[in-house]
Amino acid sequence: MKQTYLHVQEKKNFTAELADGVLTVSGPESNVIFNVENGVEKIQLSCKDSSSAASLIAMEHLFAHKPELKTISVNQIATHRADFYQNPALWCTYGTQILTPEQWMYSGDVRHPVRPQPRPGDLLYSRYVPAVGKTISFRVVDVERDLKTFHFWHNQPYVNEFWELAKPEAELKEYLEKGLVDLHSIPTFVEFDGVPVGYFEMYWTLEDRLGPYYESEAFDRGFHLLIGNMEYLGFKNTDAILKSASHYLFLEEPRTRKIMAEPRSDNQRIIRYVETFPAWRKVKEFDFPHKRAALLECRREKFFLGNFL
């Protein structure tokens, strides 16, 4: 059981391999050996000289491959699964380590916190997902690099049915460029092992069109999604992508308590999926000016305490 992991914030690759009660974590500079004492729900790791990065990789490897595992102790210091997956260091480029004072601004008549804005092409999140055997990543759209793929996806009938953006490249180029300068949203591509799979618009709901339709809070997040690469359609891949997207949005801003979605109420693929994923629930149906929508909600505590990663 050997696997390669990217430590996103350190921008370094590590491998982890468990064999005969020994877990070896190999990095760019050294190998770290952990002795493993197995339990069903708890594992003890011991090591004379373990770096924090090596310890995090060791825990990621064990938690990822042992879904029944609740706690890992490294040299007698215990970490619970729900706590571990709320640490952004391994997976999230922009994860907030120390909260800074909030600064506020107006968008129209809506007052909201000032939002960070990543740069085109930036890697936001990357995590190996054993359920699909691939590394799922989110990166900010790069118009020059991604436009042809974005145009091809939107001109597929099953995508256009819900997005209604089967337009020429020039119009879609303008759409992406506007998205990149809009502080309330981040246009991203999701990739499997570096292969573009789909498009996600991640946004802050307070200043979005969705904000007035429910009791939105300052750091609520939402997203619009499409899976444009037909080779990656299907429940298992969709499940891995949506869990990773939810994970990223909770990590990127620790004050985010809720993630919202507002698909068309007749989008049965999404509605059926939510029914299988207890962290999400359908709150209500409501009318936008342009569509009848279903309001969906995922709460932080349900997501992390539900052992969904």
Which residues are the active-site residues?
Answer: 262
CA distance linking residue 37 with residue 281, whole number of Å = 39
- DSSP letter (8 states) at residue 286: E
In the sheet where 280-287 sits, what is the strand order? 123-129, 134-140, 185-192, 195-204, 221-227, 258-261, 292-299, 280-287
Residue 89 sits at the vertex; the CA angle it makes with 71 and 245, to the nearest 5 degrees, is 90
User: Residue ranges of the alpha helices (H) in the chain?
Assistant: 52-65, 81-84, 143-154, 157-163, 169-181, 235-252, 268-276, 300-305
Amino acid, single-letter form, for residue 166: A
Burial of 231 (0-12, 13-18, 19+ CB in 10 A): exposed
First to last CA, the chain: 18
In the sheet where 12-19 sits, what is the strand order? 2-7, 12-19, 22-26, 31-37, 42-46, 71-74, 77-80
CB atoms within 10 A of CB 10: 15
Residue 288: which residues within 8 A CB-CB, separation 6 or more? 209, 213, 262
Pairing of strands 258-261, 123-129: unpaired
